[in-house]
Structure 1
């Protein structure tokens, strides 16, 4: 009987706040467009990012996409992305995008912890190969709505 009562108390002690069922820190959402801002589907896209210790990390391999979501480094004020459409691209065949920002944190819940928001976001192409233009939509990333248009 005491085991049953202990079980009831244990179940009652768990609240909805003990499980985080959502991603709280937003990713950068990039939409690809052509020169007249019509959505553009890329057959293949490889995306890497530079880690804080200077190593290139693969973010993803995408196929048949018109937009992607990529994570920013919340422990730094800058993230550099490398975009290329050919798996065997050499360093000169990659577009390099630097995203700079200031971060702020806000408490979400006990289970989810803190959410990082990105403020004063700026974009700069450090090297261009296929990307023709950047068109920022917002300078603040708080949710996963479109943040940047890239023209190919």
Structure 2
């Protein structure tokens, strides 16, 4: 009996520690950003910086905080889409500057339409939103600094690749 008790105790401890679950750490649990690359309108293979770029979400009237505001060296950006809607409208402003409470610069307004699809990642990460059937509209105007738009990927599941190309 004295030999069985220690063996039973060790067996219980081994069983207890072996049944513990490791803590889950979320590594890939963010909703992806829409990645936009800026390219030269004449030579479409060359990336081209946008001078003093500012991007504002129109409905919320907020400046996007995923990029450096009014940076002069951006040839690609990642911007968040609204997960509780089927479209997001942005004002893309080049040569942006403040002039007595008014925004100056050349403003093009893009409306991005999409379908939101939820994806379960893991217990630690939970659910993220992915986007399908990407479509972008730009009202034509003779003052548009954006000359053309090309959608490279209709589905947004990560922020690793360019989804949309803007030519200017």
Is this a same-fold pair by TM over 0.5? yes
Bigger Cα displacement from structure 2, 141-150 vs 22-31: 22-31
Name the structure 2 match of 1:42: 50
- Larger-Rg structure: 2
Match runs of 1:34-113 below 5 Å? 34-35=40-41, 36-37=43-44, 38-50=46-58, 54-60=59-65, 61-63=69-71, 64-85=73-94, 86-88=96-98, 90=103, 93-113=106-126
Unaligned runs of 5+ in 2: 1-15
Pair 77,44 (structure 1): closer, same or farther in 2 beyond 3 Å? same
Secondary structure of the structure 2 residue equivalent to 1:139:
coil
Contact 1:25 1:115 in 2 (8 A): yes
State the Cα deviation string for residues 30-83 of structure 1 (Å, max 9, x = none). Answer: 000011211002232101112xxx331110415211100000001100000111
> Which of 124, 129, 133 in structure 1 is aligned with 2:137?
124
- Paired residues, what number? 139
Question: Larger strand proportion, structure 1 or 2?
Answer: 1
**TM-score, length basis structure 2:** 0.73
RMSD, aligned α-carbons: 2.4
The gaps in structure 1 that reach 5 residues or longer are 1-8
